[in-house]
Amino acid sequence: MADRIGHVFARPELLAQALTHRSAGAPHNERLEFLGDALVNLFVAEALYRHWPKADEGALTRGRAELVRESALAPIARALELGERLTLGPGEMKTGGHRRDSILADALEAVVAAIYLDADFHTCRSVVMPWFAAAMEALPPPNKVGKDAKTRLQEWLQGRQKPLPVYELVAEGGEDHAKTFRVTCTLSQPPLLSEGEGSSRRSAEQAAAEAALAALAGS
C-alpha cells in the first residue's frame, strides 16, 4: 500500500481510519475527510497559481473546481487501489460501495489528512501533488476551463460565424436502471459528423460535442 501512496506510515492506524467508511462503525474517516478536503483545495490552488501565472481569479477558481470535484478524485483513488482496501459495512459491501465515486473521493481526502497528521505539511504536499500532475496538464487553457464541450463547440463556431451544430438522438437502449443513449452532432460548416454515447441524452450530446472538438483540433 505504501508504494502506491508514496508514504510509509509511522502510525498505520491513521491509514486504517482513513480507509474506514462510517457504515463500518467508529472510528471512521469523516473527520479526516474534512481536513483532507481543505488540504487538497490548498495544494491544488497553490499549484494552479504557479501553473497559470497570468490566469485571473475566476479561471483559477474554475480550474481548482475541475481538479477537486468528486469525479476527478475518484480516478486517483482507483489508481491508488484504495477501493480494494476500504473497510465497509455489510450494506455498502453488498451494493458495491468500494466502486462508488463518492466513497472513493472521500477516502482519498481522508488519506491526504492521514499523511499530513502522520508527517507534516511539506511531506504531505510532496506526496499528494504528483497524483494530480496528469489531470493538471490535461486542463484546457484558463479561458476555456470549466466550460462544457457543447459550450466550447458553440463558441468555436460562433467565433468563426459558422452555423450552430445539430444534435440528434439516434439510438436508445438498455434496462431502465442502465440506459445508454447515442447522439450525433452534425456541423454544416465545416461539414462534420461526430457521435457520442452516454447514460443520459445530455451526457451523450456532450460526448458528441467533445468528439467534434477533437476532430476540429486535428483538422
Let me know the angle formed at the C-alpha of 83 by 82 and 89, rounded to the nearest 5 degrees. 120
Is 150 in contact with 77 (CB distance < 8 Å)?
no
Sequence-separated (6 or more) residues with CB below 8 Å from residue 58: none
Q: Of 72, 105, 137, which residue constitutes the final position of a domain?
A: 137
Handedness of CA 215, 138, 150, 53 (dihedral sign): negative
- 32 to each of 1, 75, 76, how far by Cα in Å? 18, 20, 18
Residue 21 confidence (pLDDT): 95
Residues lower than pLDDT 70 in the chain: 1-2, 177, 219
Residues 103 and 67 both lie in one domain: yes
Q: Check the annotation: does 81 bind a ligand.
A: no
Q: Same domain, yes or no, for 193 and 111?
A: no
Q: Are residues 130 and 168 in the same domain?
A: no
Is 179 contained in some domain?
A: yes
Question: Do 118 and 153 share a domain, yes or no?
Answer: no
Kindly state whether residues 108 and 161 are assigned to the same domain.
no
Asked if residue 205 belongs to a known ligand binding site, the reply is no
Judge if 68 and 11 occupy the same domain: yes
What pLDDT does residue 77 have? 94
Q: In this structure, is residue 82 part of a structural domain? A: yes
Boundary of a domain, candidates 137, 163, 189: 137
Task: Evaluate whether residue 144 is within a structural domain.
Answer: no
pLDDT, tens digit, for every residue of 3-55? Answer: 789 999 999 999 999 999 999 999 999 999 999 999 999 999 999 999 999 99
Q: Count how many domains the chain has.
A: 2
16 with 75, same domain: the answer is yes
Q: Which domain holds residue 181?
A: 149-218
pLDDT score for 177: 64
CATH code at position 160: 3.30.160.20
> Is residue 143 one of the residues assigned to a domain?
no
pLDDT value for 123:
97
Q: What is the pLDDT of residue 34?
A: 97
Active site residues per annotation = 37, 109
Q: How far is CA 183 from CA 43, 53, 86, 195, 210, in A?
A: 38, 38, 37, 6, 12
- 105 & 159 share domain: no
Please check whether residue 13 lies inside any domain of the structure. yes
163 and 120 co-located in one domain = no
Residue 142 within a domain? no
Read off the CATH number of the domain in which 114 is found: 1.10.1520.10
Does residue 122 lie within any of the structural domains?
yes
Among 103, 137, 171, the domain-final residue is 137
Whether residues 156 and 50 fall in one domain: no
Query: Does 33 belong to an annotated binding site?
Result: yes
Q: Based on the domain organization, do 103 and 170 belong to the same domain?
A: no
Does residue 33 sit in the same domain as residue 62?
yes
Q: What are phi and psi of 172, to 5 degrees?
A: -150, 130
